[in-house]
Amino acid sequence: MTIVAAGAARARSPFESILTMMTSSPLAAAVAAVGFLLMGGACLADEACKGAFRTSVQPILNTRCVACHQDAARAGGLSLQRTSAPASLLGVSSREARMALVTPGDPLRSYLFRKTAGTHLEVGGNGARMPLGGRLTEAEIKAIEAWITGCTAD
Ligand code: HEC
């Protein structure tokens, strides 16, 4: 009976399922409330991560990287254009190293950060420091580092 009910709840939208749970028992209501809070927290962190990306990182990528890394022509298989970043970066594997391009909260385990800081060879990466043929300013590298640090794993 319980299994059937759970199966039915799963078929509905998450919102309807939560409403059903809230009306079925006080305990379920408490669980649902905690769920809402956790979801809210994750969304806020996600928004902060996206916001910082938009204001302090995308402008750097646009001026220093997108000429080569664009959706239509991806140098090294990577696009850094607005339409694909940061979804194409967070937790996505690098093609050059056994590391994510961006590991939320951890710049040193973020290959994109290492490529701009020039420490990518230390972690088994290859190729040139980015941007190819140039170098970001310390402030630009710090902005990317701060953005990654501010993103949480959830
Ligand atoms: C002049 C062209 C050019 C510019 C500008 C450029 N790149 Fe690249 N990028 C490449 C090429 C070519 C490769 C592949 C060869 C290599 O890694 O050296 C590459 C590879 C990469 C990789 C490795 C992709 C992977 O899957 O591991 C990352 C990360 C990267 N670039 C980030 C950047 C960032 C960040 C910028 C701007 C700060 C930038 N690039 C600017 C040409 C460019």
Q: Kindly indicate the confidence band of residue 46, based on its pLDDT and cuts at 50, 70 and 90.
A: confident
Which of 14-18, 23-27, 87-91 has the weakest average pLDDT? 14-18
Domain total of the chain: 1
**What's the gap in Å between 154 CA and the centre of ligand 1?**
27
Q: Where is 150: in which H helix or E strand?
A: helix 138-150
The answer to whether the beta carbons of residues 33 and 21 sit under 8 Å apart is no
Structural domain containing residue 83 = 2-150
* pLDDT for 57 beyond 80: yes
Determine which helix (DSSP H) or strand (DSSP E) holds 70, and give its type and residue range: none
The reported pLDDT for the residue numbered 2 is: 45
- Ligand 1: does its nearest atom lie under 6 Å from the Cβ of 89? no
Cα–Cα separations (whole angstroms), residue 38 to 6, 54, 91, 121, 147: 21, 24, 21, 38, 22
The percent of residues above 70 in pLDDT, for the chain, comes to: 70
Q: Mutate which of 68, 81, 135, 140 to test ligand 1's pocket (most atoms within 8 Å of Cβ)?
A: 68
Instruction: Give me the half-sphere count of Cα atoms (radius 13 Å) on the Cβ side of residue 77.
Output: 7
Q: Which mutation among 57, 61, 65 tests ligand 1's pocket best, with the greatest number of atoms within 8 A of CB?
A: 65
Residue 27 is inside which H or E element, if any? Answer: helix 26-52
CA distance 67 to 14: 42
Mean pLDDT, residues 114-125: 98
- Quick one: average pLDDT of 109-137? 98
Determine the pLDDT at residue 41: 61
Distance 51 CA to ligand 1 centre (A): 23
Q: How far apart are CA 14 and CA 41, in angstroms?
A: 17
DSSP character string of 78-123: ---STTTTTTTTBTPBPSSSSSBSB-TT-GGG-HHHHHHHT-SGGG
Torsion sign, CA atoms 90, 95, 99, 101: negative
pTM of the model: 0.79
Which is the closest atom of ligand 1 to the Cα of 133? 1
